[in-house]
Chain A
Amino acid sequence: MIVRVRLFAMLREQAGCNFVEVELDEGATVRDALDELSRRGELGDVLDRLPVVMAINREYAPEESVLDPGDELALIPPVSGGGEAAEANTTDDSGGGGEAAEATDFASGEGYESFMELVGNHVPRPPAYAKLLGMRPLHAEPGNVRFEFHPGEQLLNPVGVIQGGFVTAMLDETMGPAALSELGPGFAVPTLELKVSFLRPTYPGTLVADARVVHRGRSVVFMEGALFDEDGAKLATATATARIVPYKKPE
């Protein structure tokens, strides 16, 4: 099949036209299309240099999405909408050059939607440090939540491994939502105590944290969580206890 992909900004300039046509096998995915475009070379090294994502029918699409010749496809290079030119050009709260490109958007993905459904949209906007940790929800069901993290080199200690406080943050940021997903809308879970065992050194890359509620009492909730690397090796485990209080919108 042949699909047509719209181009914008630096990609449009690089190709010298508004779209490219790509020949792909039936059932090809977004990832296949990106690989093919990268191989053909008319977009130069932009696809390898920048985190380009694809939109299908005007919605951001995961790389596993299957393409249909009838779809409206577009390549979306990093966006820089809004005003305040100099600010957008120089500040990046995730801190570290190339690593910034790996920052993920919390407020997207199936995991986020199912989590928001569980807690009834009572959760405030994701914290600013979600970007620093490169945090993305993978899965949510009552009492069990899984997040993906992409910590960058700005979190390394002088020995070259991710500093334990950041490892703790990743576990804490997964155990809290696990408790919220168990309790449903209208609650907050301030932590009373938190213990972490660092089993192996943690390096930058793709990490997954899984957390679940061990026991839910009337006024406290007990959680446990674990952090894994890409190959499934367990890097750290944690347990935590939190109070169950009514959620109040921050002033």
Chain B
Amino acid sequence: MSAHARVTDEPLNVAGMTELVGRPSAGAIVSFQGTTRDVERLEYEAYREMAEQRMGAIVSEAIQRHGLEAAAAEHRVGAVPLGEASVVVAASAAHRDEAFAGAREIIDRIKAEAPIWKKEIHRGSEGWVDGTPAGGDSMEARGARP
């Protein structure tokens, strides 16, 4: 299985993900971690079933488009304290160009398309982070039209 996507409550394991995408034919493995910064913690909420499905599609499409050997993405939900990873992406390919491009595309698309929301908690105040309109063809921004 060359594509892997998961939403989990557990802390993410970048070493495990890197191992997961390793292949004898892969000369390059790129891994990316998105970490909480500048606030005490973030709380993530996901439409879990859809998020896993969307992430799986994003990973599979990146494998095809960039000719990756394998790729994987995991997103954490619940509280993620300062400095810990909320999302990990790993991509392997024969050469580094494809691995970098594939990993980059996967993280960019997850942020734009996976139905996952985050709330910032800092010094006793909290608030949902303004996001981007969810990726889909129904992009009629309600109420935002002039």
Contact = CB atoms under 8 A, between A and B. Distances in A.
Interface stretch (A82-90, A208-216, A233-241): A82-90
A80 B87 contact: no
Contacts of B97: 251
Interface residues of B, number: 58
B115 A74 contact: yes
A204 interface: yes
Interface residues of A, number: 59
Interface in B53-81: 53-54, 64-65, 75
B110 A110 contact: no
A83 B142 contact: no
B8 interface: no
A243 interface: no
A49 interface: yes
B126 to A, nearest CB: 10
Given A60-B138, A85-B42, A109-B137, A55 B146 contact: no
B36 interface: yes
A38 B64 CA distance: 41
Contact of B144 (A10, A54, A88, A98): A98
Contacts of B115: 8, 55, 74, 76, 79, 81
A103 interface: yes
A156 interface: no
Nearest to B108: A125
Most buried by B among A74, A92, A104: A104
A134 to B, nearest CB: 9
A64 B17 CA distance: 40
B87 A83 contact: yes
Interface in B84-102: 85-87, 97
A52 interface: yes
Interface of A: 6, 8-10, 12, 30-31, 34, 38, 47-55, 58-63, 65, 74, 76-86, 88-89, 92, 98-105, 107-110, 121, 125, 136, 204-206, 251
Interface of B: 33-39, 42, 44-47, 49-51, 53-54, 64-65, 75, 85-87, 97, 105, 107-120, 128-146
Top 6 A-B pairs, shortest CB-CB distance = A83-B34, A60-B136, A80-B131, A81-B116, A78-B131, A51-B141
